[in-house]
Amino acid sequence: MPSVDFEKLKRCIKIPEAAERILVKREKEISFNLTIMLDENTVIEGDCYVVYHNTARGPAKGGIRFSPMVTLEETRDLAERMVWKTALAGIPFGGGKSGIRLDPTKITRFQKTAVLKEFVHMIQWELRSGAYVPAPDMGTTPFDMAVIYGETHMPESITGKPPRVGGLPGRREATGHGVAFVSIMGLQEILRQVPERTTVAVQGFGNVGSYTALFLQEYGCKVQAVSDVSGGLYNEKGLDIADLFEYTRLNGSIAGYDKAESITNEELLLLDVDVLCPCALENVIHEGNAADIKARMIVEGANGPTTAGADAVLNENGVVVIPDILANSGGVVASYVEWRKAKSGSITEASETYHTIDDRIGLAFSQMREYNQKFKIDNRTAAQAIAVEELICSMRDRGWM
């Protein structure tokens, strides 16, 4: 099922039949089994997928997910979300995604590098032609992107590389920076509230959640709770996020941090805070807990953290939702800056990365608010409507319809 409800969108925008037929279908799928014999006793194998959903606006852009939970259906869904995200941000990319169904925690660094090199070998045309431009995702890192770059020898073939090998200063922090920036916009323009009087809970303390929390604290918000796979932490007076950063660097997780009380991930979602940022897994806000959400605003740092059923409950209860295709688009905007930098050979500072993210997200937020008020629709529908209209225009420009 597509993540966009076209029948709902047709109530406010015109969608030609030809456009809908194109947008509901995936352009291209590649499925293969990756098998590597490392020595006479060690064989590693896993299913791999590459999906292009739509490339009307440019190359298929989307990260490489390395996880034992990877499925073709999940890869399809994430590729589609990238189509709407890149169109909404107004950058010249389409939507794609790839996945390797292996557990990166069960293999060595050397073995993971061997897997990635074989993955590149299997999809080398996609990478060398520029048709697919990957980036880090769950289970992959800037180091992994450097491995791929070492195989293609083309700096524009991959984004999310370490800055010293052609990457972008600010890329690691980019998604969290965007989530925090749009949270502040939502606070000021929708809730009419200043950051200094705002309480926040961030579900997930990985790359996205940790930087979201850090930037929100720098804006003046009181981050009362965070969580990761080991559980959650709560401090009514506010956590010291910089201190927690250092603790997790030394200990690998937030478990055992003694400057806050322990809570569960589920308890974190139901805290009485102004802003809730789900920055970890899909479908964590569902029909079973949506009615108990006390936050006034939800900013979706993760992809698809809210189910369709929960959306309806939240809208009925007056909870403001800033959808994922806007809220977490800072990463793909930074990827565009890195891709552009790689093609031109220019030197880019972190400040320029952040400025471009703020510019793209700020414009999209204003457009979303305009559609929200003009058509009396929720933010998610408004953001999707803008993206679909952009794609319709792009497909016309390409002569696709």
Q: State pLDDT tens for residues 168-223.
A: 999 899 999 999 999 999 999 999 999 999 999 999 999 999 999 999 999 999 99
State whether 223 and 310 are in the same domain: yes
Task: Report the distance separating Cα 59 and Cα 92, nearest Å.
Answer: 8
CATH at 35: 3.40.50.10860
Task: Report the distance separating Cα 308 and Cα 124, nearest Å.
Answer: 37
| 386 lies in some domain | no
pLDDT greater than 80 at residue 368:
yes
Look at residues 222, 173, 181 and name the one whose alpha carbon lies nearest to residue 202: 222
| 302 lies in some domain | yes
Answer whether 345's CB lies under 8 Å from 155's CB.
no
Confidence of residue 345 (pLDDT cuts 50, 70, 90): confident
Q: Work out the angle between the directed axes of helices 174-186 and 207-219 (0-180°, nearest 10).
A: 50
CATH at 268: 3.40.50.720
What is the residue type of 313? V
Q: Which tokens hold the place of 83?
A: 């189509």
Q: Which of 327, 360, 384 is the last residue of a domain?
A: 327
Answer whether 212's CB lies under 8 Å from 357's CB.
no
Q: State pLDDT tens for residues 14-68.
A: 999 999 999 999 999 999 999 998 888 889 999 999 999 999 999 999 999 999 9
State whether 188 and 139 are in the same domain: no
| 168 lies in some domain | no
State whether 44 and 149 are in the same domain: yes
Q: What is the set of active-site residues? A: 97
Q: Which of 327, 356, 381 is the last residue of a domain?
A: 327
State whether 245 and 315 are in the same domain: yes
| 349 lies in some domain | no
pLDDT greater than 60 at residue 334:
yes
pLDDT greater than 80 at residue 139:
yes
Confidence of residue 2 (pLDDT cuts 50, 70, 90): low
pLDDT greater than 80 at residue 3:
no
Which pTM does this prediction carry?
0.93
| 393 lies in some domain | no
| 341 lies in some domain | no
State whether 222 and 154 are in the same domain: no
State whether 155 and 197 are in the same domain: no
Look at residues 85, 66, 131, 152 and name the one whose alpha carbon lies nearest to residue 334: 85
pLDDT of residue 45: 93
Q: State pLDDT tens for residues 376-395.
A: 999 999 999 999 999 999 99
Longest dimension (CA), the chain: 66
Q: State pLDDT tens for residues 104-136.
A: 999 999 999 999 999 999 999 999 999 999 999
| 361 lies in some domain | no
State whether 179 and 150 are in the same domain: no
State whether 294 and 181 are in the same domain: yes
State whether 209 and 139 are in the same domain: no
Q: State pLDDT tens for residues 156-166.
A: 999 999 999 99
Let me know how long the chain is.
Answer: 401
Average pLDDT over residues 230-241: 96
| 212 lies in some domain | yes
Range of the domain at 321: 174-327
Centroid of chain to Cα 259: 30
State whether 86 and 218 are in the same domain: no
Q: State pLDDT tens for residues 47-62.
A: 999 999 999 999 999 9
Percentage, residues of the chain above pLDDT 70: 100
Q: Considering its fold, how many domains does the chain have in total?
A: 2
State whether 67 and 142 are in the same domain: yes
State whether 205 and 155 are in the same domain: no
pLDDT of residue 162: 95
18-26 contacts, C-beta under 8 A, 24 or more apart: 18/401, 19/388, 19/391, 19/392, 19/395, 19/401, 22/54, 22/56, 22/395, 22/400, 22/401, 23/54, 23/83, 23/388, 23/391, 26/51, 26/52, 26/53, 26/76, 26/79, 26/80
pLDDT of residue 360: 97
Q: State pLDDT tens for residues 256-267.
A: 999 999 999 999
Mean pLDDT, the chain, integer: 95
